[in-house]
Amino acid sequence: MAMLSVTNLGISFGGLRAVYSFNITIEKGELYGLIGPNGAGKTTAFNLLTGVYKPDCGRILLDDVNITGLSTIEINKMGIARTFQNIRLFKELSVLDNVKIGLHNHFRYSTASGILRLPAYFKTEKLMNDTALDILKVFGLDKEADTLSSNLPYGKQRKLEIARALATNPKLLLLDEPAAGMNPAETAELMETITLIREKYQVTILLIEHDMKLVAGICEKIFVLNFGQELANGLPGDVLNNPEVIKAYLGE
């Protein structure tokens, strides 16, 4: 049974088909790349998978459970988390508190415990702090736990957004251009981090990326979208040497 199975997914905006006949199957533990020229429909596909948009047609199964049309909150609770092309941190909160927000689905205490500051509240808060710090260590951000997220350098803000998504304990992690705006050294470090979190947290990853070196270096399979539909799908070497894929990018 596949971790994610998407069949004939599609959506149109004002009569324009943004994504159609989108079919992809991702097995547990895979690291899959979703690429394509600008405007190919990649982020739209992510928005369909995470409930930001409701599809006009098609079906999305996560661990054989139909999640088509569910809300973003419901889909996150089912096990899909994501980052965004444009960073969406809670910039008025600390690095630590951003990650703790991602933990709230898994750590709970009663309203009375919170208001009255009962022992259960402090026990849960300590456990959340410790868990959040453990995640931040993976990204090299634990020393900046008390820093306002808005004061982090751009590359570290990108890392923090991934850390927050990871804190929701997803089965499937969707990364929308995680290396956007990074320099080569930051990109190389990010590649190592993505590989590490897949192994450490046993999470399946689907990423959108324009950096072909990153895609070829860490992805086991690549899916190419163009004009909202599949152009190629398969192993990196086969896909990136496909004449139709090369033509699509040169014509961008």
Q: Is residue 86 a part of any domain in this protein?
A: no
For residue 112, is pLDDT > 50?
no
List the CATH number of the domain containing 30: 3.40.50.300
pLDDT digits (tens, 9 = 90+) for 200-251: 999 999 999 888 888 889 999 999 999 999 999 999 999 989 999 888 876 6
Final residue before a domain boundary, out of 140, 168, 196: 168
**Are 122 and 236 members of one domain?**
no
Same domain, 55 and 102: no
Of 15-19, 30-34, 145-149, the range with the lowest mean pLDDT is 15-19
Give me the pLDDT at residue 111, please: 53
Confidence class of residue 121 from pLDDT cuts 50, 70 and 90?
low
Q: In total, how many domains does the chain have? A: 2
Evaluate whether residue 85 is within a structural domain.
no
Q: Per-residue pLDDT averaged across 142-162, rounded?
A: 95
252 and 177: one domain? yes
217 with 240, same domain: the answer is yes
Domain-embedded: residue 50: yes
Instruction: Give the model's pLDDT for residue 248.
Output: 82
Tell whether 183 and 248 lie within a shared domain: yes
Do 68 and 182 have their domain in common?
yes
Residue 75 lies in a domain: yes
Lowest mean pLDDT: which of 34-48, 98-112, 155-169?
A: 98-112
Label each residue of the chain as H, E or C.
CCCEEEEEEEEEECCEEEEEEEEEEECCCCEEEEECCCCCCHHHHHHHHCCCCCCCEEEEEECCEECCCCCHHHHHHHCEEECCCCCCCCCCCEHHHHHHHHHCCCCCCCHHHHHHCCHHHHHHHHHHHHHHHHHHHHCCCHHHCCCEHHHCCHHHHHHHHHHHHHCCCCCEEEEECCCCCCCHHHHHHHHHHHHHHHHHHCCEEEEECCCHHHHHHHCCEEEEEECCEEEEEECHHHHHCCHHHHHHHHCC
Tell me the pTM.
0.90
Q: Which domain holds residue 25?
A: 1-79+170-252
State the average pLDDT for the chain.
90
Residues 152 and 208 in one domain: no
